[in-house]
Structure formats: C-alpha cells, structure tokens
C-alpha cells in the first residue's frame, strides 16, 4: 500500500478554520445556543467563545499563535497515524475523514460537499474572507498571535453586529439577516476582484 506523509500545512489550516467557528452564530447542537431556545444571548455567545478559545489555545499560555497551531497539527497527525509509523497511509486518512464526518453529523454540523465548498472558500479567503479572515482580523496588534482579550473583543464585535436591535440576544431572524449580509459582502468583493472585460 502506498504511504505518504500527511501535508501538515493543510491540517493546520483545517484546524484553524474549524476553531474559528467560535465567531459564527449558526445553530448546531454544540453551538452557542446552550438552552436550545433558538435565541443566542450575549452570555451564551461569551461562554461558547471561551470554550473555543480554550480548545484552540493548545498549550494554555493565554494566546493563540504558531505554537498552538503546531501542537494541534501534531495532535491531529498522531490521531491519524493509528499504526505509529510516522506516516499516514491512504487507509488511515480515509478512516480519519470518515470519523470526522460522522462526528460532525452527530453534532448536527454540515457534512459532505456543502461543507467542503465552504471550507475551501474560507481557506481561499485568506486574510480578507472566510473564517480564517475573522481570525486574522482578531489580531488587532499584528503580532501574529491572538490574545484572549483580542479574541473576546472580536467575539463581542461580531455579536453586536448580528444583534441589530441591540437587545443583547440574537434571534434566528437576525442570524439569517447576518448570513445574507455576509453573502452580499462576499459577492461584492468577488465582483470587485473580477477582471474587467
């Protein structure tokens, strides 16, 4: 069977994109709507963001930076390398992908082709767009690390933007409006970036 070393850069990008989901207010079983009433309060969003930050801060030093990304890459690779050979076979990679999809399905997250397209768009967005763009914008002092204060400030800013009536909670209608606004912004950026004919 053909063996190959798993491309760690790709796994790091995927880990960061997943971790950045703390800024999103989509409804999932494990999302910020802790009581499942269809409304995300500021307290629920803050608690959810704290949980996301703790998971992303792999070395628990209070910042999310390259050291955490490296630790997450190593953890991810070790989980995939089930035979401990130092390489990930196609069979191991397929098994890991299937396990991830099963867990996402259990958590009520998007799976399959639709998620793949969103993930590709988010990674392709780089500094300006997608979930990774949200993470880059959270680094307000440009030191390539996101402190808990920066993370919390970004979370609160995104909450305030979605909470259009400023009542301290985000309803399903506000989440839908926020998603539509983001789609419109992406379309505008895409149109602006397209070469003129």
**pLDDT tens for the 197 residues of the chain, in order:** 334 444 433 333 333 333 333 334 444 445 788 888 889 999 999 999 999 999 999 889 999 999 998 988 888 899 899 998 989 899 999 999 999 898 888 776 555 544 444 444 433 444 444 555 667 788 999 999 999 999 999 999 999 999 999 999 999 999 999 899 989 999 999 999 888 76
Helices (H), 126-171: 130-138, 148-162
Name the residue range of residue 80's domain: 3-193
Residues in the chain: 197
Long-range contacts of 127-131 (CB under 8 A, 24+ apart): 128/189, 129/186, 129/189, 130/17, 131/16, 131/17, 131/20, 131/21, 131/23, 131/24
Number of folded domains that form the chain:
1
Name residues whose C-beta falls within 8 Å of residue 126's C-beta, 6 or more positions apart in sequence. 132, 133, 136
DSSP string, 23-83: G-----TTSS-TT-SS-EEHHHHHHHHHHHHHHH-TT-SSEESHHHHHHHHHHHHHHH-TT
Instruction: Report the predicted TM-score, pTM, of the whole model to 2 decimal places.
Output: 0.61
């Amino acid at each position: 069977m053909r063996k190959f070393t798993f491309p760690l850069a790709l796994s790091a990008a995927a880990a960061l994109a997943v971790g950045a989901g703390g800024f999103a207010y989509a409804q999932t079983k494990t999302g910020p709507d802790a009581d499942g009433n269809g409304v995300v309060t500021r307290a629920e969003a803050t608690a959810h963001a704290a949980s996301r930050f703790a998971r992303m801060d792999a070395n628990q030093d209070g910042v999310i930076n390259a050291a955490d990304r490296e630790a997450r890459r190593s953890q991810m690779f070790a989980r995939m390398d089930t035979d401990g050979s130092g390489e990930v076979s196609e069979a191991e990679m397929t098994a890991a992908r299937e396990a991830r999809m099963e867990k996402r399905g259990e958590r009520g997250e998007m799976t399959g082709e639709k998620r793949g397209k969103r993930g590709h768009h988010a990674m392709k967005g780089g500094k300006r767009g997608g979930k990774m763009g949200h993470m880059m914008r959270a680094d307000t002092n440009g030191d390539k690390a996101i402190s808990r204060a920066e993370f919390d400030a970004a979370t609160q800013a995104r909450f305030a933007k979605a909470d259009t009536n400023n009542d301290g909670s985000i309803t399903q209608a506000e989440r839908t409006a926020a998603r539509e606004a983001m789609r419109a912004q992406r379309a505008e950026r895409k149109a602006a970036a397209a070469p003129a004919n």
